[in-house]
Structure 1
Amino acid sequence: MKKEIVVAIGALLILPVFSIAYEQNEPNNDFNSAILLKEEAKGTVSFEDAKDFYKFYVAKGIEMRIEVEADNDVDLYLYNPEKKGVAYSCNEFFENIIYEADETGYWYAEVVANRGESDYRITLNLLAPQNDAGYDGDAGDKILKAFPIFPMEPVDNTPGRGTEGMLSPPGDEEDWYLFSVCKGQTIEITVNPT
């Protein structure tokens, strides 16, 4: 009888320790406890803690690029603000989802363990639709990919005649343009944030 009581008390004392350690490691195991993702986060999933949830606010029309790099096999799932699955990636060590938001609100990403414990890094890039300098798309991010512009031509938003552009860090931090000038001309460039 004494032995059974001691074993029961010992079990009761050990259970809270495991519970506390488990919650401190990974509190983001469902939609309600999803961690706010701001560009990048690191985590661990395993058979005991099989999934991690992240949330992020996205406006309608914005393109989401979510990537997960892991040291073991994981899967990545994307959920809309109604918590319904809309996309997934089931590769091995690198997962990637590109999706344009069809509604505004908090979207969710879920990282799921496939083959035991895995350390991972999740990255989020949000890219707005762009029409840099009148072109249909984002101006190049390197000098060799610069968009030609024509500053002395009428501004009519045809390619090269537009006057607006957009940067969307962290995925889009630079826009390069090229233009012709004659010897002796003065170059004046004004950038106004909007």
Structure 2
Amino acid sequence: MKPRLHTLICTTRPGRLGPAIAEWAHEFAQAHGRFDSTLVDLAEFSLPVFDEPEHPRLQQYIHAHTKAWSASVAAADAFLFVMPEYNHGPPGALINAMNYLVREWQYKPVGFVSYGGVSGGLRGVQATKQLMSTLKLVPIPEAIVVPNFTQHVEADGRFVPNELHTASGMAMLEELHRWTRALAALRVEARPEELG
């Protein structure tokens, strides 16, 4: 059985171009063939600013939006975060969504598809990695970086990659697959009392 990869659209802003890049990344992962890939849109969960009364490590969720988000994250073995950079950092919606959960994230690797202006979203990725270490997510260094991303989006909204994007994507998915397999034992063997 192939590991389950969730390609996550990490911005919820109206008018965003992230879905076009995420759709390409999702299709690229499917074509790669080593993952069972699912495209996940953070906006569809409509998460308000964190509103659960109990600490998320307890998993005593009372809201339907939290339970749906928990089930989605728990179902994945690995992630691709498709994310822009806002003010040299990650989208607030992504940080909020990450803070909703604890155990569901643990021992899962993450690859990044970042996009932005000249920096290609790299500063946002670096800031996100700091939170990931606390949640026991494992960010890998291989990534797809798309600077000046609007130059790669056609009038019909379709993202058109160049050779560097596809070569980087292949290297990233290969490494992501290695880490997914390596971390599988930790995900299976960890007991609840060890995950808090």
Scaled by the length of structure 1, what TM-score is found?
A: 0.23
Structure showing greater radius of gyration is: 1
- Structure with the larger helix share: 2
- Structure with the larger strand share: 1
Structure possessing the higher relative contact order (Cα contacts under 8 Å, 6 or more residues apart) = 2
